[in-house]
Chain A
């Protein structure tokens, strides 16, 4: 069931009423929310519901096993079992074809012709998100940060329909506590919810889908048909499209959850204003970045095991992050690009840190010698002009922690890098990506018919809106909240009408449904 449809509007209206009527009675509310969430998910394919149910039961079993096992080794094995089981399910649905074709190609390289079985496997919507959600639960229980909940609570967490298809990746530790007490029906953040839902529909219908159909799809499939300027705009257009598409889903999911009384974590924070690649990942798909940091990068050792190991950990995290997005070598390469970029940025900052340490080492030595010299000359009691009092301990090293200096060029550079990397993300094969990139240099003679005011405007709006300061949006939300409910409804109705007129015919699926 897609958000921007009448079917969903009717579904949500019924769920909204049921939600608040049953909220004071958790024994009724929880089964109700579970059933409607399963109905929502089953709308795609009823078989997915079985997978969801199995995942909830299996992971609850592992979590209980982790919690009730007293020995450390036993707990570790239970956790390993949970991770292996979840990754096996993900691997089967998402990576089976990729694995088999890669093995077959590899064997073919050595002259071995293997007739490996290739099956048609239907990829359940949002399975990667589901895997990360349930793993966060078992791992947090293992770490002692969370106690196991009831199976019903956990099932509601696993299947909560607003985020089930494409995130945000709300962790169990963020969501389950909200189930412990009924939400307060007198304090619903309606204005922010309406604002987010409308903003999401605007970004999806008017920007993402427009760019997809008017330039991006064509450029990435038949680059030879387009001039270099069109290809450049197509590539930049994809940067805008994927942001508008994915952040739209997150906005709508967060808005819908707010209307039901639940808070979900933010997933985007103006990513194309990032001044470094590190900064980009603090702003783009934040719940995934945080998940990878807490459940992969830090367990690998993070930055605690020396520089070389830090760089290796960064690369492993980003390559696996790339593979999480899709089963294909271009995704792996996309992750590799980010791993490389993060290593370069860390190395720059590390070098500055070394210089600062050397400087301080020299100054420390100077101060020590001055102090010794002074004492020798009988100037006891004179405080060192460089060293602080010994009781204060060594001060933190002072150095520029920004990978790139300046305000404008780092932003331009990071956007260019991110946009370049998206080419591999969007393309089915390396060959297709290279064809698109090569076309950038082959046909600068003409402008091309795809360079239209509409495309330029959509790109400008998609990027420009990220530079609008957050307080401006917050004032808008506050203004909407000041209206009475009827006027709020009227504003939304006019907005829906404009979206319907200006938007494409029929809703398109969100890009991240496939991840």
Chain B
């Protein structure tokens, strides 16, 4: 390509050089038209930002663009192309920033709802009838989830389904609607248990059903977030999940973020106490070093030092994820694999060969 580097030599196939001004025209046209073509997608991105100044600023810029794009029919090509290619519409979705869940009434004999049917013996999984473990969360659940999948497969008695979505959380159902997702997936997968991990993206404002926006850590925020945690638990139980393993947030390298994660962990712990059938997995402790502090390296079960955090210091490596996965699997085994006291008539675990579904 030496000939192309020499500015006095002709370029191949009569390729023409242009002036910087004509390049500027092409760039401006490309960016302006590109912005108008993609205005719905830009608006969607702006809407999904955390409530606050940047979101308002971006919306102030994008809103008029979206209006102009719509008037000039320039948003149609993108929408039409997306529809033709079977892709989701590029514009904002219709899910609001707040979702209110109405718990399904499930009265017990005493007339009170039974969270997770704690007192009901769990059906012991056996070969051919594994327990279905639904694993859900944000990007923090990525590698722990994959480690959990590997450990589950190794038991041959747990069938896992990993379902994690980057940048998601419980604060912004308009970005990713976890209540709907939990409902849909737990039911479709016929989940017996669920391991969930949320929170790393939830250090942001929330909108209450009344439309009021509360900033992170305020009293209103805590109340609303508690409701959402409780709703998530209730949704899973309503779909027949018998046990929930709620994984807290691990220790974080940056002091402010770490404190925020502690706030979330406190909420998870206190909400879990109100719901029998839910167990808290203390990722914070599992990922702390001997003196309770942060470390990027921790010893594995053989005593060998392993890097447990990715380069960003927050996300977990596979080795880090494995520590959480092992804790979840231990909890699952304790509850699902150990022999229980003799169950009541009609509640017995199916014997080998019987084709009843292990999930309730």
Contacts and interface: CB of A to CB of B under 8 A. Distances in A.
Interface of A: 6, 9, 13, 16-17, 20, 97, 100-101, 104-105, 108, 118-120, 122-123, 184-194, 218, 221-222, 224-225, 259, 261, 263, 266, 428, 432, 471, 474-475, 477-478, 481-482, 484-486, 488-490, 492-494, 496-498, 500-502, 506, 514
A185 B309 CA distance: 48
B355 to A, nearest CB: 22
Contacts of A186: 17, 19-20
Given A184-B7, A500-B38, A501-B82, A478 B27 contact: no
A493 B143 CA distance: 37
Interface residues of B, number: 64
> Which of B16, B77, B82, B167 is the most central at the interface, judged by chain A CB atoms within 10 Å of its CB?
B16
18 contacts: A9-B31, A13-B27, A16-B24, A101-B304, A120-B253, A188-B19, A189-B4, A194-B26, A225-B153, A259-B23, A471-B13, A478-B13, A482-B16, A488-B26, A489-B32, A493-B37, A497-B38, A501-B82
A342 to B, nearest CB: 25
Given A120-B296, A471-B13, A478-B12, A502 B27 contact: no
A457 to B, nearest CB: 13
Given A17-B24, A187-B19, A489-B30, 11 more contacts: A13-B31, A118-B296, A123-B311, A190-B17, A191-B18, A222-B146, A261-B20, A481-B18, A486-B26, A490-B29, A500-B38
Interface of B: 1, 4-5, 7, 11-34, 37-38, 41-42, 77-78, 81-82, 85, 87, 90, 143, 146, 149-150, 153-154, 162, 166-167, 253, 294-297, 303-307, 309, 311, 313, 317-319
B90 A501 contact: yes
Contacts of B294: 120
A265 B301 CA distance: 48
Contacts of B305: 100-101, 104-105, 118
A489 B303 contact: no
Contacts of A474: 12-13, 15
B78 A471 contact: no
B311 A221 contact: no
B29 A118 contact: no
A118 B313 CA distance: 13
A489 B253 contact: no
State the main secondary structure of chain A at its contact with B: helix
Contact of A428 (B17, B87, B317): B317
Given A108-B303, A481-B15, A489 B26 contact: yes
A192 B23 contact: no
A6 B42 CA distance: 9
Contacts of B27: 13, 16, 259, 489
Contact of B29 (A120, A184, A471, A486): A486
Contact of A97 (B85, B90, B307): B307
Contacts of B87: 501-502
> Which of A222, A474, A478, A496 is the most central at the interface, judged by chain B CB atoms within 10 Å of its CB?
A222
Nearest to B84: A501
Contacts of A119: 296
Nearest to A198: B30
A218 B146 CA distance: 8
Contacts of A17: 24
A48 to B, nearest CB: 13
A420 B87 CA distance: 34
A187 B12 contact: no
